Amino acid sequence: MIIFDKVSKKFGSIIALEDVSFTLEKGEFVFLTGASGAGKTTLIKLLLGEYLPSAGEIEMNGEKVSKVSKKNLYLWRRKLGVVFQDYKLFWDKTVAENVALPLEIIKTPAKEIGEKVQKILELVGLEERKSLFPAQLSGGELQRVSLARAVITAPEILLADEPTGNLDPKTSKEMIRLFKEINEKGTTILMATHNNEIVDSFKARVIELEKGKVARDEKEGKYYKDKKKEKEEDDD
């Protein structure tokens, strides 16, 4: 579904990503990890077409991002749902209005919008908060609104950039449960996170970036379990 083929991205003399290669299959749940500055957000922005690679190629469902014209970039992005750490909600719109916005942009009939918004708000547990404004919600509720908006159009792929970064441990686990439920419905998920506890508690593939390179690509969070074991042995 997604192919990164020897992708590099430079900003002047700064190398954000270098020779990154991996493939994501349909229906996978993959954690993208690494320290701050490792290249996680750059990778997600490359997928969104906000940046173009300095070298290499990115494909999604057989289509190369470098071949997508600027005027058709919105069609590429419609295949993707995105959940941001800072929510990116409209503060003058209610929960329901924020969630409905992607459907309005693609000119979905009003009746269908109402039905889909109600259904997705029930999924994320916000049906009773739909008339409230973002300023009236907690951080966890804001993130659930962001998630609901990202999946309202049933995208094939869901990208999440540090979606639990501002949340307490309990709320973080609730968010991951929602992501898992969405993944089980068939959505491919790529989640950037530095929360190693969440990675280790969830059996999913882990791609770790280090200084812009793929340092490890492991199944089921094995890498962090090994690192924890090594640290314990060093402490002994």
Determine the average pLDDT of the residues in 13-33.
95
Q: Does pLDDT of 230 surpass 80?
A: no
> Please, which pLDDT band fits residue 13 given cuts at 50, 70 and 90?
very high
Determine the average pLDDT of the residues in 151-172.
89
Determine the average pLDDT of the residues in 39-62.
93
- For 11-15, 208-212, 218-222, which range has the lowest pLDDT when averaged over its residues? 218-222
DSSP assignment of the chain equals -EEEEEEEEEETTEEEEEEEEEEE-TT-EEEEE-STTSSHHHHHHHHHTSS--SEEEEEETTEEGGGS-GGGHHHHHTTEEEEETT----TTS-HHHHHHHHHHHTT--HHHHHHHHHHHHHHTT-GGGTTS-GGGS-HHHHHHHHHHHHHTT--SEEEEESTTTTS-HHHHHHHHHHHHHHHHTT-EEEEE---HHHHHHS--EEEEEETTEEEEEESTTHHHHHHHHHHHHHH-
> Please, which pLDDT band fits residue 229 given cuts at 50, 70 and 90?
low
pLDDT value, residue 140: 92
Higher pLDDT, 234 or 132: 132
Q: Which residue has the tokens 């909600």?
A: 89
**Which pTM was predicted?**
0.85
Q: What is the mean pLDDT of the chain?
A: 90
Going from the N-terminus, what domains does the chain have, and what CATH number goes with each?
A: 2-79+157-235 (3.40.50.300), 90-154 (no CATH)
- For 2-11, 87-96, 192-201, 206-215, which range has the lowest pLDDT when averaged over its residues? 192-201
Q: Does pLDDT of 126 surpass 60?
A: yes
pLDDT value, residue 224: 47
